[in-house]
């Protein structure tokens, strides 16, 4: 299968600050055969780090030198069959393209530090060529484990995607790359909200359960916690302005606001400003 690209690839020197999210699909080695992983598919997107917009993409199936390594187990994991890669290019045929995409950029992906990066180095070593080198690395598995925690369950991409309602993981390179980027965006947004309003959303990364505001309830309605799918998508129906007035109705300031309402009601009509001035002395009592 010939590789596809959304636009021509830029040189690594001109794109040093760009981030490339990538993912590999591989064979599943036999436990007793002494085999190692072989790349079956490579997919990548290059994004602008300031806007996170997709600049270009590339994806290709890759035929291993020995087709017998594409077992039925491999096909069950990612859906890539022996027949699907029978006419695909060998890794050496697409190595230049893959090198240009990866070399000199920031690499990003889920569990790439332990899995995808070693596979890239092995594939280039097999054809006697130096592997591409990143200028930085963002492993979303490591970052999210540290920053987001296990509030969504385990840290598998499929679990995180399900937590945010992003659909099911397809275990195909380009689709998984885009899902990885969306998961990161969602996690970053949640963390930003929690750091901006820790008293409301909680800052411990484990949801806000009992924390609503300084007042325990707004009109006897609690804010939903972070745990459930429905509560995250369905915020309270009450308006923010109405919610803020309720906690003060039993205080002196609350009485003053009630008087303000009466004044404003009386002030309606053609002489609105004059009536507000006429009744303004009530606010000072």
Structural contact between residues 222 and 165, judged by C-beta atoms closer than 8 angstroms: no
Q: Of the candidates 61, 23, 57, which has an alpha carbon nearest to the alpha carbon of residue 40?
A: 61
Give the C-alpha separation, 261 to 276, whole Å: 11
Q: Do 37 and 65 contact (CB within 8 A), yes or no?
A: no
In order of 1, 36, 222, 239, 272, the CA distances from 228 in angstroms are: 42, 41, 14, 22, 48
Neighbours of 249 (CB within 10 A): 11
> Annotated catalytic residue: which of 113, 171, 279, 281?
171
Pairing state of beta strands 19-26 and 39-47? antiparallel
Which residues does residue 74 pair with via DSSP β-bridges, in sequence order?
Answer: none
CB 37 within 8 A of CB 29: yes
**Is 242 annotated as catalytic?**
no
Alpha helices in 55-214 (DSSP H): 72-78, 82-85, 91-102, 117-126, 140-147, 157-163, 173-196, 198-201
Place of tokens 């993912």: 23
DSSP 130: P
Measured distance CA(189)–CA(207) in Å, rounded: 14
Among 159, 264, 161, 148, which residue's Cα sits nearest to residue 206? 148
Q: Which residues are catalytic?
A: 171
């Amino acid at each position: 299968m010939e590789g596809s690209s959304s636009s021509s690839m830029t040189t690594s020197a001109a794109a040093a600050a760009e981030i490339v999210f990538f993912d590999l699909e591989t064979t599943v080695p036999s436990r007793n055969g002494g085999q190692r992983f072989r790349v079956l598919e490579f997919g990548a997107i290059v994004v602008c780090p300031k806007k996170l917009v997709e600049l270009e993409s590339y994806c290709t199936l890759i035929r291993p030198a020995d087709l017998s390594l594409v077992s039925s187990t491999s096909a069950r994991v990612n859906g890539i069959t022996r027949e699907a890669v029978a006419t695909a290019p060998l890794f050496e045929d697409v190595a230049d393209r893959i090198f240009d995409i990866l070399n000199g950029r920031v690499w990003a992906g889920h569990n790439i530090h332990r899995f995808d990066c070693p596979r890239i180095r092995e594939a280039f070593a097999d054809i006697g060529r130096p592997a591409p080198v990143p200028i930085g690395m963002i492993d979303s598995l490591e970052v999210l484990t540290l920053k987001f925690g296990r509030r969504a369950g385990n840290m598998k991409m499929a679990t995180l995607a399900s937590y945010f309602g992003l659909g099911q993981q397809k275990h195909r390179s380009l689709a998984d790359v885009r899902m990885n980027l969306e998961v990161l965006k969602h996690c970053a947004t949640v963390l930003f909200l929690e750091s901006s309003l820790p008293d409301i959303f909680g800052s411990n990364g484990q949801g806000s359960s009992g924390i609503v505001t300084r007042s325990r309830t707004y009109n006897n309605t609690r804010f939903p916690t972070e745990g459930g799918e429905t509560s995250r998508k369905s915020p309270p129906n009450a308006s923010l302005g109405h919610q803020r007035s309720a906690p003060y109705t039993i205080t002196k300031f609350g009485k003053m606001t009630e008087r303000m309402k009466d004044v404003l009601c009386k002030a309606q009509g053609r002489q609105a400003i004059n009536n507000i001035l006429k009744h303004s002395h009530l606010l000072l009592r």
